[in-house]
Structures are given as structure tokens and as C-alpha cells.
């Protein structure tokens, strides 16, 4: 970002749709940003620029809008997809990440807090759309085991429920287990 290469007139993007297949509600947005940003490096001076995009999904709306540099069209389509799927900004996602060198300690902490969050869900079923625990897709990082709890909340209930979630996870924590809460996380790996 911010680089200017005046003599660059051709930009090639290989496997440009790879990031579309990440398990992340923001994957399409990130792909659109990356393609439009990289494409913007070509033809910045008097010479016309050209962009070649290699893809296995040429009809995907994200790539079509990126190829046309149609930001407004992409936004309208993406916001519609997110509304239909129940993703932010129409809901709130809360991710609680558990990391530790001892797998059992992580699982015990996760299980205990999941039970308390389950009690909160039972009391406020109107607020919760989803609650589950799982191993993170990236199972270990920096020699630490990783687990997570994911929640999807109704937007209108989030401001009331999220402080209660934070209260539950901050009540007591096992030594050796790091617990992080994130609202509308940028990725889920």
C-alpha cells in the first residue's frame, strides 16, 4: 500500500481467489481489497496498465466487482450476503480464544467457561443465535494449544450481553491458560 512504481504496466495476480475459501465471514471483503489494491499498482503513469487475474472461480461476484473496480456494487452485494447469512454488521460475533502449553488445562478452562456461558444462554435465549466450542483451525501456535468458543448474538442484545460474557470469562482463570475475548474478530483461525 502506498508504493508507486511508475514503470509498472502489467500486474499478474496468481491464484487470486484462494483467500475466498477461508473460513471467515470477511474473506470476500479481504479478497476484493487485495485485488483492487494490487491492481492499482499498474499503469499509474502515462502508460496504460493491465492486470491479469488467474482464478478458478471467474464468475464469483467478488472477482467480477474487483475486475471492474466497482466498489459501490461490491458493497451492495456483500452487505446483502452478510444480512442473509446473519453476519456483522447485522449480528455480533464474540470469539473467546484459549491458549496454553498444557492441552488439558486449556480444555478444562474452556469446558468450565462454556458451561457458564451455556447458563447465560439459557437465561437469555432471545439474545443468542449460536454458541459452540471447538479446537481452533490453527491447532497450535508458538508451542501453545488453541481452542475457542464462538458466539453469535442478536445485534439489539449485544450491548447488554457482551459485558456479561466478559464478566464470566474474567471471574477466574487457570494458571497457564491465556484467555482472550474478541468482538467481531478479523479472523477465526
Number of domains in the chain: 2
Tell me the pLDDT tens digit for each residue of 148-183: 999 999 999 999 999 999 999 998 777 899 999 999
**Radius of gyration over every alpha carbon of the chain, rounded to an integer in angstroms:** 21
Q: Is residue 1 part of a domain?
A: no
Could you tell me what percent of the chain has a pLDDT over 70? 93
Q: Is residue 102 part of a domain?
A: yes
Both 99 and 169 in one domain: the answer is: yes
Q: Is residue 189 part of a domain?
A: no
Both 100 and 166 in one domain: the answer is: yes
Segments forming the whole domain that contains residue 43:
10-85
Which residue has 456483500 as its cell numbers? Answer: 78
For β-strands 128-141 and 144-154, DSSP reports them as: antiparallel
Q: What is the pLDDT along the chain (189 residues), one digit of tens a residue?
A: 556 666 677 878 888 888 888 878 899 999 999 888 887 766 666 667 788 888 899 899 999 999 888 999 999 999 999 999 999 999 999 999 999 999 999 999 999 999 999 999 999 999 999 999 999 999 999 999 999 999 999 999 999 999 999 999 998 777 899 999 999 998 877
99 contacts: CB under 8 Å, gap ≥ 6:
106, 141, 144, 145, 146, 177, 178, 180
Both 62 and 27 in one domain: the answer is: yes
Q: Measuring CA to CA, how many Å separate 15 from each of 30, 35, 58, 91?
A: 14, 11, 11, 31
- Rounded to two decimals, what is the model's pTM? 0.81
Q: Measuring CA to CA, how many Å separate 89 from each of 114, 148, 188?
A: 25, 21, 16
Angle at CA of residue 151, ends 148 and 156, nearest 5°: 155
Last residue of a domain, one of 51, 85, 119: 85
Amino acid at each position: 500500500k502506498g508504493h508507486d512504481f511508475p514503470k509498472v504496466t502489467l500486474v499478474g495476480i496468481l491464484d487470486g481467489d484462494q483467500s475466498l475459501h477461508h473460513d471467515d465471514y470477511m474473506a470476500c471483503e479481504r479478497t476484493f481489497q487485495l485485488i483492487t489494491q494490487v491492481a492499482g499498482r499498474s499503469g499509474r503513469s502515462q502508460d496504460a496498465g493491465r492486470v491479469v487475474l488467474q482464478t478458478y472461480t471467474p464468475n464469483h461476484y467478488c472477482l467480477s466487482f474487483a475486475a471492474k473496480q466497482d466498489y459501490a456494487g461490491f458493497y451492495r452485494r456483500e452487505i446483502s450476503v452478510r444480512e442473509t447469512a446473519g453476519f456483522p454488521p447485522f449480528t455480533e460475533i464474540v470469539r473467546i480464544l484459549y491458549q496454553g502449553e498444557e492441552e488439558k488445562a486449556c480444555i478444562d478452562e474452556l469446558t468450565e467457561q462454556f458451561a457458564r456461558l451455556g447458563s447465560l444462554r439459557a437465561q437469555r435465549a432471545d439474545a443468542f443465535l449460536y454458541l459452540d466450542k471447538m479446537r481452533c483451525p490453527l491447532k497450535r501456535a508458538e508451542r501453545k494449544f488453541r481452542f475457542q468458543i464462538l458466539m453469535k448474538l442478536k445485534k439489539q442484545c449485544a450491548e447488554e450481553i457482551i459485558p456479561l460474557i466478559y464478566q464470566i470469562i474474567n471471574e477466574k482463570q487457570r494458571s497457564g491458560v491465556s484467555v482472550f475475548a474478541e468482538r467481531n474478530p478479523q479472523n477465526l483461525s
